């Protein structure tokens, strides 16, 4: 079967993580993604945190699979001319330069729309257009702070904390991909392209929706009963950091398992789902708690929830995280081991599903990456190697109608 996005041509004017994550996803699903990179250096991540000298860093390879690389100095007139030709025949241009960079290059939205009114122009910026910080350059952790994640992550007696998950970068890229696909469907109806903009702050805030819920509850009632601060601690007028508490109506915590003294990841996440209280008591060997008024309801349990967690930890003391989950799963208790990157990399289920894939690469030998987390019944996204810098320059220029001599001249001028 042909891939759903086959025939969609995308100019990938992205770098670092937020933009590349978006275009990589679209490339997996069949789009022809041409990454335009500065001659000589390319995307900065090619050189960042290298583990093999002279080979593209994993930071680059893991965010740019299934793409082509065209080197072009788009600040030089000859480079602009090539880019204009590419724009005329592309469906989408994606960029995540700093504020104003595309305009300074001479490719404002108005100009792009004039060159190709059917093209979708998709941008990631730190803050949305017109925001009082819209001139700021932004990286992941900046976005996590600006979007409400940092103030609500971590422990109440520690500082605001950054999540390891790329809430600012890849998450914004995923939002942008949804915007692009929506605009492509819109174009089928109107025949017109449009501008799609996603800010990192907005994308983080979108994922912190439940914390905005909590702010409004706090404003109204002055406390949040599912937070560890309740009922013994104090609440201020802002949503506090809740440690590892469950974010919804189900209390939960990270609990120690056998070996925690030496293994920093010998833990499970344990959720006390309200209607699973009886199975939990049975699993723990505490049948007397099932009907005990001090334990029977969520309200009754909350004041001594940490004593309950301590009892569960006693039960866990002679079980590894895997043994514990194998018992608890039989009682239908929502739980999981705290998995390390090493465990995930070697997980046979993730290998079988294509979520963890090993990709052959001409210079590195191979690299491990995260494949498509989205699974389809009629599409099996295949992950192919990220391109070497300028690997497809000749191919792309030839497809634009340049002769061999013109390609040679262009490469001379561009000092590729």
Please give the Cα distance from 31 to 43 (Å, whole number).
20
C-alpha 399 chain-centroid distance: 33
Q: Who contacts 198 (Cβ-Cβ below 8 Å, separation ≥6)?
A: 122, 123, 124, 172, 175, 176, 179
Residue 365, strand partner residues: 361
Listed ranges 67-75, 179-187, 309-317, 329-337: which one lies at the site for ligand COA (CB under 6 A): 67-75
36 binds ligand COA (CB under 6 A): yes
Q: Is 138 in the site for ligand COA (CB under 6 A)?
A: yes
CA distances from 215 to 147, 150, 158 (A): 14, 15, 20
- Minimum distance of ligand COA from residue 249's CB (angstroms): 34
Number of residues that bind ligand COA (CB under 6 A): 24
Q: Provide, rounded to whole angstroms, the least separation between the CB of residue 140 and ligand COA.
A: 6
For 394, which DSSP code?
H
Residues 6+ apart with CB under 8 A from 135: 99, 100
Minimum CB separation from ligand COA for residue 205, in Å?
Answer: 15
The answer to whether residue 326 is catalytic is no
Of 23, 66, 74, 273, the residue at the interface with ligand COA (CB under 6 A) is 74
* Of the candidate residues 26, 57, 70, 124, the single one contacting ligand COA (CB under 6 A): 124
**Interface segment toward ligand COA; rule CB under 6 A; list 31-39, 188-196, 300-308, 385-393:** 31-39
Q: Which is nearer to ligand COA, 119 or 124 (CB)?
A: 124
Residue 102 C-beta: closest distance to ligand COA, Å: 7
Q: Is 126 in the site for ligand COA (CB under 6 A)?
A: yes
Yes or no: say if 333 and 271 are a contact pair by the CB < 8 Å rule: yes
Pick one of 5, 17, 28, 33: the residue that binds ligand COA (CB under 6 A): 17
For ligand COA, give the closer residue by CB, 152 or 170: 170
Bridge partner residues of 76 (DSSP) = none
Is residue 116 within 8 Å of residue 90, measured between CB atoms?
A: yes
Selecting among 32, 73, 91, 169, the annotated active-site residue is 169
Distance separating alpha carbons of residues 269 and 252, to the nearest angstrom: 7
Interface with ligand COA (CB under 6 A), residue from 125, 241, 301, 321: 125
Q: How far is the CB of 47 from ligand COA (least distance, A)?
A: 12
CB 409 within 8 A of CB 82: no
Q: Does the footprint of ligand COA cover residue 174 (CB under 6 A)?
A: no
At which residue do the structure tokens 């001319």 appear? 81
Tell me: does residue 24 bind ligand COA (CB under 6 A).
no
Please compute, for residue 345, the number of CA atoms within 13 A of its CA located in the half-sphere on the CB side: 7
Burial 229-239 (b: 16+ CB within 10 A, else e): bbeeeeeeeeb
**CA separation for the pair 122, 137 (Å, rounded):** 17
Which of 12, 32, 169, 202 contacts ligand COA by CB under 6 A? 169
- Cβ closest to ligand COA, residue 63 vs residue 224: 63
Q: Of 15-23, 211-219, 300-308, 402-410, which segment contacts ligand COA by CB under 6 A?
A: 15-23
DSSP code per residue over 47-59: TTT-SSTTS--HH
Give the footprint of ligand COA on residues 286-345 (CB under 6 A): none
- 162 touching ligand COA, by CB under 6 A: no
Q: Which residues are catalytic?
A: 169
> What is the binding site for ligand COA (CB under 6 A)?
16-19, 36-38, 72-75, 96-98, 101, 104-105, 124-126, 137-139, 169
């Amino acid at each position: 079967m042909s891939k759903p996005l086959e025939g969609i041509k995308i100019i990938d004017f992205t770098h670092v993580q937020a933009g590349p994550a978006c275009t990589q996803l679209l490339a997996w699903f069949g789009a022809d993604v041409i990454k335009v990179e500065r001659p000589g250096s390319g995307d900065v991540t090619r050189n960042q945190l290298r583990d093999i000298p002279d080979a593209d860093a994993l930071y680059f390879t893991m965010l740019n699979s299934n793409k082509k690389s065209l080197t072009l100095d788009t600040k030089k007139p000859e480079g602009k001319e090539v880019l204009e030709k590419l724009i005329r025949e592309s469906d989408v241009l994606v960029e995540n330069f700093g504020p104003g960079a595309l305009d300074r290059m001479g490719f404002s939205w108005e100009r792009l729309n004039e060159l190709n009114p059917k093209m979708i122009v998709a941008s990631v910026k730190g803050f949305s257009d017109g925001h009082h910080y819209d001139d700021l350059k932004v990286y992941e952790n900046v976005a996590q702070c600006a979007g409400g994640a940092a103030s609500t992550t971590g422990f109440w007696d520690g500082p605001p904390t950054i999540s390891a998950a790329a809430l600012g970068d890849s998450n914004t890229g995923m939002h942008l991909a949804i915007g692009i696909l929506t605009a492509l469907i819109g174009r089928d109806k109107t025949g017109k392209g449009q501008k799609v903009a996603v800010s990192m702050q907005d994308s983080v805030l979108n994922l912190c929706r439940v914390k905005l819920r909590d702010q409004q509850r706090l404003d109204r009632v002055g406390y949040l009963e599912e937070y560890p601060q309740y009922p013994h601690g104090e609440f201020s007028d802002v949503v506090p950091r809740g440690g590892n508490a469950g974010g919804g109506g189900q209390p939960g915590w990270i609990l120690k398992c056998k070996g925690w003294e030496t293994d920093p990841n010998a833990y499970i996440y344990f959720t006390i789902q309200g209607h699973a209280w009886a199975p939990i008591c049975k699993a723990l060997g505490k049948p007397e708690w099932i009907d005990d008024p001090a334990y029977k309801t969520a309200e009754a349990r909350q004041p001594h929830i940490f004593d309950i967690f301590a009892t569960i930890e006693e039960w866990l003391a002679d079980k590894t995280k895997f043994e514990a989950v194998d018992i608890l799963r039989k009682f239908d208790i929502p739980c999981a081991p705290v998995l390390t990157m090493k465990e995930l990399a070697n997980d046979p289920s993730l290998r079988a599903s294509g979520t963890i894939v090993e990709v052959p690469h001409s210079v590195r030998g191979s690299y491990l990456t995260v494949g498509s987390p989205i699974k389809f019944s009629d599409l099996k996204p295949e992950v192919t190697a990220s391109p070497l810098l300028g690997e497809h320059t000749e191919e792309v220029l030839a497809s634009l109608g340049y002769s061999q001599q013109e390609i040679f001249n262009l490469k001379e001028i561009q000092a590729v």
